[in-house]
Amino acid sequence: MARRLYRSRTEKMLGGVCAGLGELLDIDPTIVRLVFVLLTIWGGAGAIIYLVLWLIAPYKDELKNP
């Protein structure tokens, strides 16, 4: 089964993007959150990337199984 990015409903702090990325990459979501904060401080790219992922990544239970 292919791994996909999705947002987490259980471990979310804001939109669930970092928790979903952490699960996809098999790392702690706190590390992903810190990366987004650092990218936001260093030019604002982190906030833009987060918002885009928030808009395009569905929750896991919203994925349709063929």
Sequence ranges of the domains in the chain: 1-58
Q: Mind listing the pLDDT tens digit for each residue in 21-64? A: 999 999 999 999 999 999 999 998 999 999 999 999 888 776 56
Q: What one-letter code names the amino acid at 1?
A: M
Q: Please indicate whether residue 13 or residue 64 has the higher confidence score (pLDDT).
A: 13
According to the model, what pLDDT value does residue 10 have? Answer: 84
Beta-carbon count within 10 A of 31 CB: 13
pTM of the model: 0.80
Q: Please indicate whether residue 66 or residue 26 has the higher confidence score (pLDDT).
A: 26
Stated as kind and residue range, the H or E segment containing 23 is: helix 17-25
With a CB cutoff of 8 Å and minimum separation 6, the contacts of 7 are 15, 16, 17, 19, 20, 54, 57, 58, 59, 60
